[in-house]
Structure 1
Amino acid sequence: MIARQFAKISVAARAVAVLAAVGILSATVSHAQAQPAATQRARVVIQVSDSDQAKWNLALNNARNIQTDLGAANVDVEIVAYGPGIGMLKMDSPVGGRIDEATTAGVKVIACENTMKGQKLTRADMLNGISYVPAGVVELMSRQQQGWAYIRP
């Protein structure tokens, strides 16, 4: 009985009903995706694997701009250095002052211990205020799996 009544409804009317339902569902889903939970902090991890001073300055600018735009209290920012990028974390770094400013502002700057071992560097060779992880690439992978945004300047 119901099937016969449904069959009597014009094809156009059924199409309109389906499209309306899909439109409402799509709007609901996109709204839910666009609105992060009110208590969720933004999180971003920045990769620096180049020894280029300009790349480091760009990464530090990105970190500062993110904190400025979102509010430092609303975002976690990590800069992970490995490979040739580790050189800018040494005591004689030309961007050492900027790295110190970043860590003071709450940016976590992280050195890869695998790279340090490969370059025969110790923590005594490195800037004060930085953090360490056993493997920089594993830190990047972990953060991405945890939902952190990823940036490579």
Structure 2
Amino acid sequence: MRRIKTMVLWLALTLLYATGHTQQVSNYDFHGAEATLNAYKALYILNQSDDKKIRAVVRNINNALEDPRLKGKLQVELIAFGDGVEIYRKSNRYDTLLMGLKSKGVLLAQCENTLRERKISKDELWPFVSYVPSGNGEIIIRQYEGWAVVHP
């Protein structure tokens, strides 16, 4: 008897929740999150050399910078390490994309560990690139500083 009562109660609660939940969803007009803070910070990670991936990361950054909720409130850093170093090599001709980001205030950073391990000279990279001791260290520090970490 007790088991039947428990099952009936569970069924009644399930139906009550499902009915109320369905009604809430249909009446709810969702417009996305509101940007209520004065400033936001995002660290974009690039550790791949694929051209499509590089262009997608740049497009993602530009989309975030153009989001009307974040416009004028967003600080962005792009950290490259590992295979991501290819975005900053002069030989790969991403300078137009990078200058577009730089003109919007994006910090362009490269991991020095990658350069040392791969024996890449800073002369092979664009002169407007900044350097950090390690990409992973940059991610850890930025995350603890409250930056959103984005790895598209």
- Fold shared per TM-score above 0.5: yes
Matched, 1:76 2:70: no
Aligned partner of residue 48 in structure 2, secondary structure: coil
Is the CA contact (8 Å cut-off) linking 1:57 and 1:95 kept in structure 2? no
Unpaired segments of 5 or more residues in structure 2?
1-32
Structure 1 partner of 2:126: 127
In structure 2, what residue type is equivalent to 1:63? Answer: I
Structure with higher Rg: it is 1
* Structure 1 segments of 4+ aligned residues over 2 angstroms from their partners: 34-39
Structure 1 partner of 2:108: 109
Q: Count residues in correspondence.
A: 118
Deviation of 1:37 after TM superposition, in Å, equals: 6.3
Q: Deviations over 1:73-113 (max 9, x none)?
A: 31110110000110221111232210121112111111000
Deviation of 1:62 after TM superposition, in Å, equals: 1.1
Unpaired segments of 5 or more residues in structure 1?
1-33
Identity over the aligned pairs, expressed in percent?
27
Change beyond 3 A, Cα 1:37–1:68:
closer
In structure 2, what residue type is equivalent to 1:90? Answer: R
Question: Cα RMSD between the aligned structures?
Answer: 1.7
Q: Name the TM-score, length of structure 1 as normaliser.
A: 0.71
- 1:44 aligns with one of 32, 37, 42: 42
Aligned partner of residue 76 in structure 1, secondary structure: strand
Change beyond 3 A, Cα 1:36–1:61:
closer
Q: Name the TM-score, length of structure 2 as normaliser.
A: 0.72
Aligned partner of residue 127 in structure 2, secondary structure: coil
Change beyond 3 A, Cα 1:68–1:83:
same
Structure 1 partner of 2:94: 95
Change beyond 3 A, Cα 1:36–1:88:
closer
